[in-house]
Every structure is written in structure tokens, then in C-alpha cells.
Amino acid sequence: MRMSILLLSLTIIQLAMAQQRIPDVVYTNGRLWTVDKSKTVAEAVAIAGDRIIAVGSNQEILRLAGEETRRVDLGGKLMLPGFIDNHTHFMSGGFQLQSVDLRYAKNEEEFIQIIADRAKRYAGQWMTGGDWDHDNWPGGGLPTRQMIDPVTPNTPVFVQRYDGHMALANTYVLRLAGITKETPDPPGGTIVKDSQTGEPTGILKDEAMSLVYRHVPAPNEEQMMETARLALKEARRLGITSIQDISSSGDVRLYEKLKSTGELTARFFCRLPISQWKELAERKIRVPAGDEWVRVGSLKAFADGSLGSTTALFFEPYDSDPSTRGLPSDILLDGRLERWALEADKAGLQLSIHAIGDSANSRMLDLFEKIVRENPKWDRRFRIEHAQHLHPKDLPRFAALGVIPSMQPYHAIDDGRWADKRIGMKRCEWTYAFRSLIENGVRLSFGSDWTVAPLNPLWGIYAAVTRRTIDGANPNGWIPQQKISVEQAVEAYTINSAYAAFEEKEKGSISVGKLADLVVLSENIFAIDPIEIEKVEVLLTVVGGREVYRR
């Protein structure tokens, strides 16, 4: 009798709760890939406020709907959790949308012409952005200031290679920055100089770029706001509902302001420079501080440069330039990275360290081992950003230390065009080692590294699954043994990226109680030929139950 009364009471309570939680909207007649192991596939979802309140069959979800509930028929289309991009330079992306675009210049002549056209239209204004790729050109030679000086005599030009680790300055800018043949290389950077004359060619690598950055005029607040709005528009068009950004303190303030005006259409997990660890610690900030819109508490640092700029740090010399093994960052060279990392970890701040070359990755794993030995235990979730080129001995160490490889798969089909020329095919076998990492029990997280690569998550999934280089030279995949499944790639763009930001209980799957961040696609990427995934488009983006994009 007691049990009957108890069951009756529970039923009444459940009915009362259901009556109070009439959904604002239900999406039905879809194919929901929930990324929730308890119910991977469903037909419909119910949302109240900004949360998911039910997931199930059409019949189950429609039964919850009230008179005021909006009903949306998905027409059999695929719905996924909203994409979470694990690594962007978001404001740089917004500025790039407004800047000169050199990414697809096919040769030196086209490169010069694009710059000339821009300089003519905006004479005297700073020309930044660029994203040029000299590996697209016949011969693959680096650009020089002499190439662009004739078309930019009175226009300051400072345009970056697409990886962000070297840039070209014209003579106007070199004079402004006081860079001459006598200027020494700064720690962690290189001023490329002509082998005959000793004069700077205009190419500045890594920390040497800082000699120019300080002279680039800062945009005003309204320009910053407009830039952020443009970048947000691009993100929602591509189904991205959360951004894990490489941010400045000013960026964080900007995102907070956009939140206050109701203009944020993506959620931000912000990584500040590791040099600011003490400031955050003194303010008692621990990861993940903030709310569901803007969070901080993770710190970004550099261990090395990039492969394309021959500044990624390797155990062995480059095949393309045996005189170098790469370029360690200045803070790795002088010991600050280790000191700061130990103290930041003690303060409950997450470490998120850029490492490209196999030596840089190994040295960061060594550092993480030292932190685990010396510091108190906590749920620290170490991250290595990019983790591009690994030594096979280090693969098991990722799992043993709980290190998250924060990877950007589009790089594989881009760098795959020329990586073997830099380091040879033997080392390339462990480049973007997605499958090997998973087989070693590692949790992969995916993103774009926008603007270094395109922001589109579907292109990232396509890259991870097919590994077909963008030049068409590898139709069966570049290093095909490292391909992964569509399901694994989607997990890396959703629940695994949520985990990397301590947010797996809030987002990353279509689950009851989680934020209603969702995306609907034009095709079922689990059913079509994987080579067609790059053509799939986003039809609908939902953030917190609100439709922010509809195609």
C-alpha cells in the first residue's frame, strides 16, 4: 500500500512538472544525432526557454506541446548539437572579412596585383590581414618588400602568411618600425635578411612581427563592435554555437558588452595570454569562471612556431633547410613558460599551449608531467593546441596525462600539399595523427584555427574523414591510415570540445537539461559519400532555443 501511494505521489509530481514545462518550441520529423550515448538517435526535441526539456519520438514530443507551442517540421533533415570550435582568433577573423584577401593568389603576379588594387582604393590606409600562401606559387619562393614597394610607395603594408607565424612588411613599414640590416633578431623571432646585402627582405617571423605590431593603429570601439558583429554573422551561418577563442582582455570586455546588448549569437570560452596568469590568480578566477555566454580561466602560450614558416620545433633538422630544427618561443627559451605554467596550474587555471613540431609537443608533455608530480591534484584538463607533428613515443603520454589534443583538421588537407617537402614522409606519417590518438584512448577536440584555416566545421569534418588534400593530389587521402569516422569527427566538434572547456554538462549533446544549441544540415552526413560532406550547408542554427540563422 505504501509503495502504491509513493508511486501515485511521484506520478502526480511528474504531471505537475510537465504542466509547468510546456515547450516553447518543438522540432519534429527530423533525424537527430544526439551525441548522447543513452539515446543516440531520435526524431524530435522539445525546448523551453534556453534548455532542452525532452528528446524522443515525434509522438512523445508532440504530446508535450501546448496551444502556444511553436511546431517546426524538420522534413527529415539531420539535426546535431551546435558545433563548438575549439580554436579561433575570432576578432582577427572579423577583421579579415574586411581586409585584403591574398589566400588564393596563384602566383607572385596575382599577389602583387591584389595588393596594388587595394592600395589604389585605400591609399595611405594600413593594409593588414592577407593570409597569403607562397606554397601556392610556382617555385614557392617567399615574397619580398621589393615585389610590392612599387605599388605601395605611400601605403603601410603588413600582411601575414595564413598560419600567422610570418608576415611581409613593405619598405614604408620597415622604416616606420626602424628595422634595418643592423637590427638583431629578437628572442623567438627572425628578421629574414638578404644573403648578399644583409638588408631585410621584409619577411618577419614569429616574435619579430612584434616590432611592427606596436606601430599598427588600434581600431576604435565602434570598429571593434562592427568587426565582432561580422564575425558572429559568419559563425551562425556555419552552425557554430560556441567559440573557444584566443582572446585579449579587450576582446573579453567586447563580448561582455555584446552579451549585455543581446547581440551575442555564440558562446565564448576565452583563452588569455599566459603572461596574465598572476592577474587572474589575484582575482581568484579559476577555470571555467563566468556564465554560459562568456567564460575565462584558460591560458594560451606558445612553445614554437609553424611548419610553413619552418619555425615549428623538431627533434631533427628540416629536410628543406638542414640549418634549422625550428624556433622555440622566447618564453620557452628563457624558462618563463615553465615558471608561469607551474604557478598558473596551482591557481586553478587551465594550460592551453601551442605546439606544432614533435620536439615542442614532447617538451610540453614533459612540462605537464612535472606539473602533475609537483602540484596538487585537480581536474586540470591540459590542452595542446594543434598537436600537429608527434613522435610515436609520445602518443600514449597524451592519455596517461589526460592531455586534450586541440586539433584543427583542415590543416591536414592544406599542409598535406607540401609538408613532406619540409620534413619528409617518414615524419609526416605522424602528422595530424587523429586515428592513432583515438586508438591510444585520447579524447580529440576539433576546431578551425580561423583565420589560419576556414571557419566552416563541415570542411573540418570532411578533412578528418577523407584527408583529401585541397590540390586534388590525394583522392584516397593523405596518410589515409589516420582517417576517422564521421561519428568520431562530430564528437570532436561537439561533446569533446565541450569537455575541453569544462562544459560537457551544459552543451555538446542533444540531452535533457542542456542548452538548446542546435544545427540542422542540408544532408545527412552519416549517410552520404564522405567526399560530398564539403558541399553540405547549414539550414538552421539555434542558440539557447532562439533561431539565429535560417537559410
pLDDT, tens digit (0-9, with 9 covering 90-100), for 472-528: 999 999 999 999 999 999 999 999 999 999 999 999 999 999 999 999 999 999 999
Give the angle 205-206-210 at the CA atoms, nearest 5°: 100
Share of the chain above pLDDT 70, in %: 96
Written in H, E and C, the secondary structure of 298-318 is EEEEECCCCCCCCCCCCCCCC
- The distance between the two most distant Cα atoms of the chain, rounded to a whole number of Å, is 98
* Average pLDDT score over residue span 235-256: 98
Q: How confident is the model at residue 21 (pLDDT cuts 50, 70, 90)?
A: confident
Nearest to 517 by CA among 64, 33, 57, 50: 50
Q: What is the Cα Rg of the chain in Å?
A: 25
Gap between the Cα atoms of 14 and 294, Å rounded: 34
**Position 304, amino acid:** D
> What confidence score (pLDDT) does residue 519 get?
99
**Cα–Cα dist 143/47, whole Å:** 53
Q: What is the pLDDT of residues 130-141, one digit of tens each?
A: 989 998 899 889
162, HSE (Cβ side, Cα atoms, 13 Å): 23
Residue range 24-71, pLDDT digits in tens: 999 999 999 999 999 899 999 999 999 999 999 999 999 999 999 999
Check whether 459 has a pLDDT greater than 90: yes
The DSSP bridge pattern shows strands 44-48 and 41-42 to be unpaired
Is 190:311 a contact under the CB 8 Å cutoff? yes
Residue 196 has pLDDT above 50, yes or no: yes
Predicted local confidence at residue 1, as pLDDT: 40
Least confident of 7-11, 178-182, 316-320, 514-518: 7-11
End-to-end CA distance of the chain: 57
State CA 41 to chain mean position distance: 27
Looking at every residue in the chain, the average pLDDT score rounds to: 94
Is pLDDT of 351 > 80? yes
Strand (E) positions, 82-219?
A: 83-88, 100-101, 129-132, 158-161, 166-169, 189-193, 200-206
> pLDDT-derived band of residue 20, with 50, 70 and 90 as boundaries?
low
More confident residue, 162 or 456: 456
**What's residue 14's pLDDT?**
39
Residues 406-432 have a mean pLDDT of 97
Strand order in 51-56's β-sheet?
51-56, 44-48, 25-28, 70-73
Q: pLDDT at position 218, please? A: 87
Q: What is the pLDDT of residue 16?
A: 34
Check if the beta carbon of residue 304 is closer than 8 Å to that of residue 313. yes
pTM as predicted: 0.87
Name the pairing type of β-strands 518-521 and 78-81. antiparallel
Q: Please state, in angstroms and rounded to a whole number, the distance separating the CA atoms of residues 453 and 34.
A: 27
Cα(529)–Cα(466) distance, integer angstroms = 10
C-alpha span between 288 and 274 (Å, rounded): 15
Q: Is 428 within 8 Å of 418 (Cβ atoms)? A: no
Q: With bands split at pLDDT 50, 70 and 90, how would you rate the model's confidence at 294?
A: very high
- pLDDT greater than 70 at residue 247: yes
Cβ atoms < 10 Å from Cβ of 174? 22
Which cell numbers hold the place of 122?
585605400
Please give the residue that has the higher pLDDT: either 96 or 236: 236
Could you say which DSSP state residue 528 is in?
S
Section 120-125 average pLDDT:
88
Domains of the chain in sequence order: 2-76 (2.30.40.10), 85-89+220-550 (3.20.20.140), 92-213 (3.10.310.70)
When pLDDT is averaged across residues 157-182 and rounded to a whole number, the result is 95
Share of the chain above pLDDT 90, in %: 91
